[in-house]
Each structure stands twice: as structure tokens, then as C-alpha cells.
Amino acid sequence: MTIELKSISKIFAGGSAHPVLDDINLTINDNEFFTLLGPSGCGKTTLLRLIAGFEHPTSGTIELFGERVEGTPPNARPVNTVFQHYALFPHQTVAQNVGFGLRMLRRPAPEIEPEIERMLRLVRLEGLAHRYPHQLSGGQQQRVALARALAARPRVLLLDEPLSALDSKLRDEMRVELKLLQRNTGITFIFVTHDQGEALSMSDRIAVLSEGRIQQVGTPDDIYERPRSRFVAQFVGETNVFEGKLIRLPGKQPEFKTSSGALLPLGDTPADDDNPALAFVRPEKLRLGNPDDLASDPQARLRGVVTNKLYLGTDTVYYVDLEGGETLRARIQNASAIDNRFDVGAAVRVRAEEGAFRTVGRST
């Protein structure tokens, strides 16, 4: 176990009485790519700063490798940080920035030089050792920040939205590189982001935070396919949400009756979730068909009219107004020309795979 957070709460002095973090319990494992995902203001950066040592918890304990560290200053923790805006030292060259941690650890100079070169090779900045940060592009600065944080070989690397300042193409490349880097170095990465795409694509596990509380911890697949609350279902990925109630008849598959009266077929509903109030379905799990072709299909009982469509190249998103009045989004992959055939105004049946509709409780 790398990091163990127990009942962490944080209230900022002078701020509102509302806690920034409220009873956080979390275990982060060795060699894990762990992501803290949530909207801005959810407390994810504060949690990262608690682990780094810049802030101290109001209550609760933090253990790093079995040792309690609440009173330990940042410079005494085997943890390094890649800051959101990199925080490179503007008066030092790239090489001096990268070597800073090793110099502060009083490593002998002959040891530091090769280490700087190794780190610059790792992030592919060999030729830029003598530049200053302001002479570098955003992507290069990002790599320097990464090399600087990795040079002292921390056991945990904290990354605070490190990709947010990059353009989208560079961001996609860095996702792959960060994941590879984590796997190759074996260092535990704790990655903070508000971007669910980053979280899903890189993480071994994700903790979704909202208003200072952990909503759910799980693998990307867990979080996306089996969200346990409305917040998680809506924050991660696109979702169609329906209000209504569960109908469970003996000997039949459970169904969900929406407030407008439509019946949604449910797959396995968690046994402990007896009174769910919301059903949801991911747009890409829906298919559209001609009403006559699907008339006898038990998975295609929803009927509606296409009211809008967005052609996105790889997919087309259809907005379908159901008979009961709800609007549904269906994301259809354009695998062949025939997939893009429904026009606005067309009557359709919506077909969902078994288990595509799931339920979550209202309150949680």
C-alpha cells in the first residue's frame, strides 16, 4: 500500500464553514495510475496538496508507505509534483531545473550530471538543456516539469492537471506518453483532472469527487458502465437520464417506468437497489430502426421521432423525442453509409442491448 487516507477532512480557515474535503477514505496501491476526477471546486487539488504536504488536514490521517506524515513538510516527503502551470524556475536553465531536486538532496555533482541527461533523454529534450523556460513551448515546458519531478526518483508522482494548458493534439500524445512512463518507471502516479476522457484513458483506478466527497472509486470500466450515483453517471460520459420508478414483477425481468409512462427494459439491477428513482442509458448503446422492422423486437419498445441530428464524422448523434415526451440522444457509429439514414422528422424505434438501461438512486 502506497498511500492510505483515513477520514480526511479539510476546512479552510476564514473560508466558509462548508468543508473542502469531507471524510475522505482512500487507499492507493503501489505502481498504480490513480486519478482524482471531478469538476472544479470538488476538492481534488486540495487532496493532492494534502498528499504533497502544502496543506494540512483539519482532521484525519495520511500514511505514506505505512508512516503517518501529517506533520511532515513537503521537502521531507518522497513525493514530487508536476504543477498545473509547471512552476518552472524562470531564472534557471532546463538542466538546472531538472537537477534542482538532486542538488537539494546534496548529491555529488558527478552523480547529478548523468542523471539530468538521462531525464532529458526520457522526455526527449536532449538539445534544450541550456535554454531558459521562457524560451520553450508549452509542450516542452510540460516535459521539463515532468523531468524535474522524476529526476529525484520519487516513489509517488503527483500530477495536477498537467495537460490542461496544452492544445488538444499534444494532449492526446501526452496521454499515451504519461501512461507509458508510469508503466515503465513503476512509480505510483496520482493524477488530478476534470477531463473524464483523460481519466478513462489513462487510469488503473479512478476516484470521482464532488463537493468534497468521494462519489465512487473503481476501474474506468466500473465508473463508466456501472456508476453508482446520478452525479457519476452524468459527469463521466454522455447520459440519457429518466425519472420514474422500478417495477419488479415475479418471474419477469425488472422494468423501469418513466414518469411519462414509457417502460424501459432493465438488465440485472443490484439487489440492494430496491428503490431506484433514476434510469439512464449511454447514447452509444442505442440503435435506431424503422418502426415496422422492429415491431416484434422486445428490446425495441420505445418509439419516437427524430427531432435533430448532429453529424460528427465517426458518429451521428440523433435527438429522438419519445412518445411520452422525453428526449433521448442516440449516438450511432457511421460504420457504413446506411447508418446515417434517418432524417429529422423520421419515425423510429429505439433499440437497446440487454442491460443497456441501468438504474441509480435519486439521492446518492
User: Interface residues with another protein (CB under 8 A)?
Assistant: 52-54, 73-76, 79-81, 83, 85-91, 100-101, 104-105, 133-134, 136-138, 141, 148-149, 152, 165
For residue 207, the minimal CB distance to another protein (Å) is: 22
Query: What cell was used for 205?
Result: 483506478
Tell me whether residue 108 or residue 251 sits nearer to another protein (CB atom): 108
Min dist. Cβ of residue 91 to another protein (A): 5
Nearer Cβ to another protein, position 123 or 300? 123
Provide the minimum distance between the beta carbon of 284 and another protein in the complex, in angstroms, as a whole number: 36
User: Which one, 120 or 206, has the nearer CB to another protein?
Assistant: 120
Q: Give the nearer residue to another protein in terms of CB position, either 132 or 319.
A: 132
Backbone angles phi, psi at 201, to 5 degrees: -80, -25
Q: How far is the CB of 85 from another protein (least distance, A)?
A: 5
Q: Please, what is the minimum distance in Å from the beta carbon of residue 238 to another protein?
A: 31
All cell numbers assigned to 210? 464532488
Shortest Å, Cβ 115 to another protein = 13
| Closest CB to another protein among residues 86, 224 | 86
Return the number of the residue (2 or 210) whose C-beta is nearest another protein: 2
CB of 64 vs another protein, minimal distance in Å: 14
d(CA 200, CA 204): 9
CA-CA distance, 348 to 314, in Å (whole number)?
A: 21
Q: Give the nearest distance from C-beta 55 to another protein in angstroms.
A: 10
CA dihedral 95, 101, 102, 103 (to 10 degrees): 80
Q: Which is nearer to another protein, 129 or 277 (CB)?
A: 129
Cβ-based nearer residue to another protein, 80 or 258: 80
